[in-house]
Structure 1
Amino acid sequence: MYNSTIVTTSYGPVRGRIEAEGVVSFKGMRYGADTSAYRFLPPQPPTPWNDVVNAFEFGPPCAQDHPDRSVDRAANPWLQMM
């Protein structure tokens, strides 16, 4: 397990990895709601949560126009900080 710390955001608690003294990383954090129901509308805030969310790993990449891509175009995971 990583050395970690928990912070409380306005949406819920998040556990980040302590990288070095004074440096904590929070990877893969959502900053908006799933766009499926709101496509072409202004962004919506994420749904609040109560359980601690681990933010140790990057989320999936945004879709790229690349012949070797392995991104599921039907998914909408791109509203994440990376």
Structure 2
Amino acid sequence: MKGLGWFAAIIVGALAGWIAEKMMKADHGLLMNILLGIVGSLLLNFILVTLVGATLGGWIGQLIVGVIGAMILIALGRALLGRG
């Protein structure tokens, strides 16, 4: 997460993972929420920078990117595991 320190990245990642979990009606724990939020944010930031050349900045921008990225990861997990 560009511009955020490690502590802030964990907080934003946890919040993003929790929001994605609620929106996707999934059931994960706190650690998985943090992981999904951070990895989802990294994934979507990479995609945005590669395709568009830029990404959203700041806490709010990274929260949005993290939520969308975590939702993508949840959907991919469901598709690969065959759960609805």
Q: TM-score, normalised by structure 1?
A: 0.30
More helix by share: 2
Q: TM-score, normalised by structure 2?
A: 0.30
More strand by share: 1
Structure exhibiting the larger radius of gyration computed from Cα positions: 1
